[in-house]
Amino acid sequence: MAKYKGNRIAPKNFDRGQIKIYIILLPLVLFMLLPIVFIVCHAFKPMEELFAFPPRFIVSNPTLDNFKTLFKSARTAAIPLSTYVFNSLIVTLIVVGVGVIISTMAGYALSKLKFKLRGVIFEINQAALMFVPAAVMIPRFLIINGLGITNTYWAHILPLLAMPVSLFLIKQFIDGVPDTLIEAAVVDGATQFMVYRKIIIPLIKPAIATGVILSFQQVWGYLDSSNLYVSTDSMKTLAFYMTTLANANNIVAGQGVAAAASLIMFIPNLVLFIILQKDVMNTMAHSGIK
């Protein structure tokens, strides 16, 4: 009988058996990583390196020229860059903030309160995990028209607030909060709202962090609203402006600016994930669909 050497998952120490895993992973990791390294390098390439033939992958004399050009072209445009930044910040803050509040509230009700439709509502939300917004862009357009919110911030905000995957993960996480804590508080005279605010919210920080990340990823790069629901240029978002920069000129010089623009869109996502990754992994442990 083989001697049990301990679980191979999440080992504490390095052993030789892991070398083959590294060897198998190497080409795949390179395939995933190189495009990212490339776009970062490209954004910092000076003009002569962008025009170099044959093109070089790695930047040798990094400069901020592309970013400067980007800000300059924004300054000469009819609408200053700050308008787009402002629009995006407002929209992102509201979507992330309100989105998390409504998901945690709904998650609390679905997890801890007993009522008739609980099972059905949770099932419906679970089915909506596979909802693909692109499939209903026409009806959404008609609804936004019907509500009379075209050309307002509402058109950026409202369609993104209800996020089934966020509610699902938060609800699953709240399931892990012991009922006894809530019962004790209720015995002491706490209302359901106080329980939600004083017990649930502090205990589900990881799930909230995950909700924040998922909702941020969605709203920060969201283009549909600027493309379809908002026609006034000064009401559009940074993501939209960055995409127009990326599309405007396909010539090589414009590529540097496009790469700079795409970094500006990508980096906040990455940084937020790095900061919150522990919480996200903690929440994901409850992600199973039964």
Partner 1 sequence: MKTNKATPYIFLLPYAVLFIVFIIVPIIIAIGLSFTNYDALQTPGFVGVLNYINLFTRDSIFMQYVLPNTVVYSLIVGPGGYILAFLLAWAIAQLTRIPRTILALILYSPSLTAGTAMQVLWKIIFSGDRMGYVNAYLIEWGLINEPIVFFVSANYMLPIMILVGLWSSMGVGFLGMLAGIMNANDELYEAGAIDGIKNRMQELIYITIPTMKPQMLFGAVMAIVNTFNNGGIGVQLSGSNPTPGYAGQVIVNHIEDYGFIRFEMGYAAAVSVALLLIIFLFSKVANKLFVEKD
**Binding residues among 192-211 for partner 1 as defined by CB under 8 A:** 192, 196
Rounded (10°) CA dihedral 61, 67, 70, 71: -140
User: Length of the chain in residues, anyone?
Assistant: 290
User: 158-187: which residues touch partner 1 (CB under 8 A)?
Assistant: 158-159, 161-162, 164-165, 167, 182-183, 186
Rounded to whole angstroms, how far apart are CA atoms 124 and 136? 17
What are all long-range contacts of 97-101, with beta carbons under 8 Å and residues at least 24 apart?
Answer: 98/157, 98/161, 99/160, 99/161, 99/162, 99/163, 99/166, 99/211, 99/215, 100/166, 100/208, 100/211, 100/212, 100/215
What are the φ/ψ torsions at residue 11 (nearest 5 degrees)?
-70, 155
The residue within the footprint of partner 1, chosen from 79, 81, 85, 105 (CB under 8 A), is: 105
Helices (H), the chain: 17-43, 47-50, 65-76, 81-112, 118-127, 137-146, 153-161, 164-174, 179-187, 192-194, 201-203, 205-220, 224, 238-248, 252-284
Closer CB to partner 1, 22 or 148, in the complex? 22
Count how many Cα atoms sit within 13 Å of the Cα of residue 217 in the half-sphere of its side chain. Answer: 13
Rounded to whole angstroms, how far apart are CA atoms 119 and 111? 10
The residue within the footprint of partner 1, chosen from 57, 72, 82, 232 (CB under 8 A), is: 57
Buried b (16+ CB within 10 A) or exposed e, 75-104: eeeeeebebbeebbeebbebbbeebbeebb
Closer CB to partner 1, 235 or 241, in the complex? 241
Stretch that binds partner 1, among 62-70, 74-82, 85-93, 156-164 (CB under 8 A): 156-164
Residue 79 binds to partner 1 (criterion: CB under 8 A): no
Stretch that binds partner 1, among 68-76, 79-87, 201-209, 267-275 (CB under 8 A): 267-275
CB of 25 to partner 1, least distance (A): 6
Closer CB to partner 1, 13 or 76, in the complex? 13
CB of 226 to partner 1, least distance (A): 12
Residue 16 binds to partner 1 (criterion: CB under 8 A): no
CB of 75 to partner 1, least distance (A): 20
CB of 207 to partner 1, least distance (A): 13
Stretch that binds partner 1, among 59-67, 76-84, 86-94, 219-227 (CB under 8 A): 219-227
The residue within the footprint of partner 1, chosen from 59, 91, 106, 219 (CB under 8 A), is: 106
Stretch that binds partner 1, among 25-33, 62-70, 76-84, 148-156 (CB under 8 A): 25-33
Stretch that binds partner 1, among 58-66, 67-75, 79-87, 255-263 (CB under 8 A): 255-263
CB of 81 to partner 1, least distance (A): 15
Q: Are 164 and 131 in contact (CB under 8 A)?
A: yes
Q: Tokens 């605010």 label which residue? A: 197
Stretch that binds partner 1, among 20-28, 64-72, 78-86, 229-237 (CB under 8 A): 20-28
User: 111-150: which residues touch partner 1 (CB under 8 A)?
Assistant: 113-115, 118, 121, 125, 128-143
